[in-house]
Amino acid sequence: MHIAEVTVAAQPRVAEHLLNMVRGLSAITDGFSIDQMAHALQTATRAERAGADEEVIVASLLHDVGKLISVPNHPKIAAEILKPYVRHDVYCMVAYHQDFQGRWYYEHLGMDPNLREQHRGQQWYELTEQFADEWDQKAFDPDFEPENLEHFEPMVRRVFAHAKSI
């Protein structure tokens, strides 16, 4: 009981660790036109300006934090971080976003650009398509002016304040 109480009291550290991970993305560019923190801010800004709800905005901000650890499996790393705190469709949006992103570059890697088709009919398909095509894929614009991280900090703290499931 004591451990449970202390753990609940320590919950705010989760959001702070994640915000530090977003800051850490500024060290990764990997050949893109902007660094990964700028990409995260652009993606979240585009989601917010399109009218997305807070869980979707926060997931957009965090969707690539897995790249801090390992690029090939980065979607699932971020998705599992988000899972207890967001709806199932938001979890799936992050978990499968790479299959949707593939439309824009997999042909250059000798891979199938239509991997998204395996997910057609899923309840989260349209959200993930909107995320990939309208927000994530477009969020490498050096001239775009996103909101800064401070703008998103209260949202991250609210979403990660309580786990909905374990």
Interacting residues with Fe ion (CB under 5 A):
64, 136
User: Min. distance of Cβ 134 from Fe ion in angstroms?
Assistant: 12
Q: Which is nearer to Fe ion, 11 or 76 (CB)?
A: 76
Give buried/exposed letters for 114-124 (b at 16+ CB in 10 A, else e). ebbeeeeeeeb
Cα distances from 164 to residues 61, 76, 124, in angstroms, run 20, 19, 19
Nearer to Fe ion, 105 or 163 (CB): 105
How far apart are alpha carbons 140 and 24 in whole angstroms?
17
Tokens of residue 164, six digits: 């909905």
Question: Which residue's C-beta sits nearest to Fe ion?
Answer: 136
Q: Could you tell me if 82 and 91 are in contact, meaning their C-beta atoms sit under 8 angstroms apart?
A: yes
Residue 62 Cβ vs Fe ion, minimum distance, rounded to whole Å: 10
CB of 101 to Fe ion, least distance (A): 7
From the CB of residue 15, how many other CB atoms can be counted at a distance below 10 Å?
Answer: 20
From the CB of 113, what's the least distance to Fe ion, in Å?
Answer: 17
- Output 55 or 64, the one with its CB closest to Fe ion: 64
User: Which lies closer to Fe ion via its Cβ, residue 48 or residue 136?
Assistant: 136
